[in-house]
Amino acid sequence: MSKKITIVGAGLVGSLEAIYLAKRGHNVSVYERRSDIRKAELVAGRSINLALSTRGWTALKKVGIDDEVRKMAISMPKRIMHAQDGTLSEQPYGQDGEAIYSVSRGGLNVLLMNLAEREKNIDLYFNHKLISTDLNKAQAVFEDEKAKEQIVNADVLIGADGTYSTVRNHMMRQDRFQFSQYYIEHGYKELTIPANPDGSHQIETNALHIWPRGNYMLIALPNMDGSYTCTLFFPFEGEYSFESLKTHQQVEDFFNDVFPDIVPLIPNLVEDYFNNPTSSLSIMRCYPWTVSDKVLLIGDSAHATVPFYGQGMNAGFEGCYVLDKLMEKHGDDWKACFDEYSKYRKPDGDGVQDLSMHNFVVMRDKTADPQFLLQKKIELKFSKKYPEKWLPLYSMVSFSNIRYSDAWKIGQQQEALMQKIMSIPNIEGIWDSESVEQKMLALID
């Protein structure tokens, strides 16, 4: 039976969920706090991008919009590491043909909104900020740009309003609602490597570039216009930190010393450093994600994570896919559907957060460690020969739809096993040998 559904937030997940619900015949109204980004000017010189991987593609495909998105995606089959002395090394992300994809956050959001508006049973409202709710009635009160309030009654209210969700804040007033937030010690700042005059990229296009430096790192993802968006993940406090780099000279010296090959690529590096904002990074956990058959949290509002596995959006998109499957299973029983969604997905919300924290250490530190790179080479060779016995953790997360909670569990078992392999004497010399392969087989069985 068709329902009247309110979605709060026309971000990436809210827009996609609207399309899913509309295709099931529901009447969907999406309320967004910001003005319509399709009419706004892009902030000059800034273009933020995200890595899209298999889970995201699976969810886009289910509603038939993956081909549209593919037109704006740049494949990144490998990561390229930039050492402090300028030496480059590279590591494929998966098997031949496997890649993660760089897409513009704004571009993807605009496309999803346009596709949503194409559905006759979706209405989008901008400059509407959720300020109050009656959760048991799925009622929402929005304030528009003239501070005029509008009461919206619906059958179902979906909170797709991101990390600092207002819907979730109101759920916190419910008895036995669990919530925790954790800010990591690092923040981030975006910088841009502009395109060459002919519009080409200054560094290799089809790769995610990393400058791993132990406790911090810089990464860069390509944009379609030839530019690269760089993100510096850096501690807020300490010897090398946002706090310690106070003057133009300190920033210049720091980059010349630590990221020397970046300096000639960014003409206004120091100005950009001081002009661009520094943002914090956090993990939000909560439970349950529903109130009866009336309210549901989806995307970052339910499981915001740090960005080090490039999975926040992918997890949110996968949530839309899983919810749709459960709607198919439960038909008109929305309470059963929401209950199962919350119980089934919560371990995966926790899983993607644990994986994201784990990958921060891998990216900023391990990718510069020859032992780690050797370990990954051994795993890749083994998994090519015995794909049914071994799928590397990165592949489970980025190139499969295996549940995050399972990937995290299996990944930890694999790591324990690989520690035994890496402690074999002279593993550097014999990693390719039959004896190492046999040892791995013996340890697995």
Ligand X SMILES: Cc1cc2nc3c(=O)[nH]c(=O)nc-3n(C[C@H](O)[C@H](O)[C@H](O)COP(=O)(O)OP(=O)(O)OC[C@H]3O[C@@H](n4cnc5c(N)ncnc54)[C@H](O)[C@@H]3O)c2cc1C
- Nearest residue (CB) to ligand X, 301 versus 383: 301
* Omega before 288 within 30 of 0, i.e. cis: yes
Q: Which parts of 45-177 are beta strand (E)?
A: 49-52, 74-76, 78-82, 88-92, 100-104, 122-125, 129-134, 139-143, 149-153, 156-159
- Nearest residue (CB) to ligand X, 283 versus 440: 283
Both tokens of 413, joined, read 């078992």
- Ramachandran assignment for 220, one of left (phi > 0), alpha (psi -120 to 50 degrees), beta (any other): beta
Site string for ligand X, 307-336 (x = CB under 6 A): x--xxxxx-x--------------------
**Contacting ligand X within 111-130 (CB under 6 A):** 129-130
Q: Is 159 in the site for ligand X (CB under 6 A)?
A: no
Would strands 156-159 and 295-297 be described as parallel, antiparallel, or unpaired? parallel
Q: Could you tell me the smallest distance in angstroms from the CB atom of residue 231 to ligand X?
A: 6
Q: Which residues contact 327 (CB under 8 A, 6 or more apart)?
A: 24, 337
Both tokens of 431, joined, read 């990693």
Nearest in space to 8 (alpha carbons), one of 321, 349, 301: 301
Site string for ligand X, 231-270 (x = CB under 6 A): x---------------------------------------
- Nearest residue (CB) to ligand X, 50 versus 363: 50
DSSP β-bridge partners for residue 52: 101
Among 6, 104, 166, 290, binds ligand X (CB under 6 A): 166
Among 7, 14, 346, 355, binds ligand X (CB under 6 A): 14
Q: Determine contact, residues 50/108, Cβ cutoff 8 Å.
A: yes
Q: How many residues sit close enough to ligand X to count as binding (CB under 6 A)?
A: 30
Residue nearest to ligand X (CB): 11
- Nearest residue (CB) to ligand X, 18 versus 368: 18
Q: Could you tell me the smallest distance in angstroms from the CB atom of residue 324 to ligand X?
A: 16
Cα separation of the two ends of the chain: 50
Among 31, 242, 321, 360, binds ligand X (CB under 6 A): 31
Residues that bind ligand X (CB under 6 A): 8-14, 31-34, 50-51, 129-130, 160-162, 166, 188, 231, 299-300, 307, 310-314, 316
